[in-house]
Structures are given as C-alpha cells and as structure tokens.
Structure 1
C-alpha cells in the first residue's frame, strides 16, 4: 500500500513544485510536510492559503487511497478549509484522516499544523469528500 501511495504522489507535479513530501502512510491516514520557503508565502510572510490547502487536499486524497482496493484511483469531489491561525512556522504538516469510507464516496478530516521549534499550532481544519474510481 505504501509503495502505491508513494509512486502516485511522485507523479503529482504540483506537490513536486511546492516541495511537499509524504512523511507517514498508514491505513486511513497520510501526513505531508511542506518546508518554509519564500516562494510559498503571502504578503505578510505566512504560508499562503493555497499551499496550505493543496497539501491538505493531497493528504486526504492519499489517506482515502490507503483504504481503497489495489488498482483504484481517487478524485476529490469537494473540500472545505477553515483557516484558524496564521500559518507561521518552519514547516507545515497536513494530516489526512479517513472518517468514513463507503463503496463510492469517502469522507476525510483535514488538519494542517505549523511547527516552529517545540510549538505546534493547528492553522487549518477541513473536511473532504472523495470518489473512488475503479479500474475498467
């Protein structure tokens, strides 16, 4: 399962462009880390909400893929993010967690944390619906 997730992630141009990487794969959960770089910030120096949301979307999508049968694929149907605090840290960690996986639709929780030294702050939280695409 982990190999399938990592191979799929490696094909994502946006994640490669952002410099994101998967740091944990487990049944129903995936963590993605994004290190701070000037290119990822908004005008106040915090991580841009687009980068924050992008890694959350991918973490949830791959969390869902961990519970799908081999050969299946996943597409996001919708997601909503609440930005709770400025994303100020040395890196962000997005955690996607499957809440319920059905035959067709899966719902995931999305949490994004900013880390600076010993401080870990929840900066965004959301929910996502995904659809399983079975091989033909």
Structure 2
C-alpha cells in the first residue's frame, strides 16, 4: 500500500504542477486544475484522504505516507504563493474541502467556491502587507 501511495503521490503532484503551469502558474490555478479533475468521469476523490480515513492510526505506515503527500502538496503550494507561505495550509485545506465536496456533489462548483475563498485570502494578505487592513 505504501509503495502504491508513493507512486501515486509522485504522479499526482507532477500532474498538478503541469496543469497549474499550463493554466498560468499562479496559486489560484490549483483550483482550476482541480475543477478539471472533478469534471472527469473517473474522479473518485483523493486517495490520500481516503487512506487517512481508512488507516486512521497516525502511526500506521499508510497513514504516514498519505500525510507525507499532503505535506509535499503544502510545500508546493507554499512555493506558488511566493512570500505568502502562511497561506499554504489554508489553501490546502480549501483544496481538500473542495475534493470531498466535489465527490459528494458530483460537480466542479466546489473548486470555483474554494478558488473564490482563496482569492479573498490572497487579497486580504496583500492589503495587510500594504497597510490597508
């Protein structure tokens, strides 16, 4: 199971980086990439979230492998945020929430909603930096 998760981690992160780059390379493009994924007929949620639910013991090797994936995704998002790394955790939380909601609702709308919230976080961060808050 751990080997499968590690291979899937590499493939999923490569897919995300490729799509984000193709879509324009900004942090908000992660949500556009997710919307594309949600629209696919074979979309089944997130293997890593599913693994953490099934292997709920944080000490289990499968749970750790899934958690490591989420840490690597957070690192990637932090790189995209370029100077606003404190927003990486909230962005990944929005990504995870959109994934679960898209699976439940079978629509791409959760990606658009998460993108709007992420844009508001970015705007608030920019306003705080420039002293407008």
Give the TM-score range, shorter chain: 0.3 to 0.5
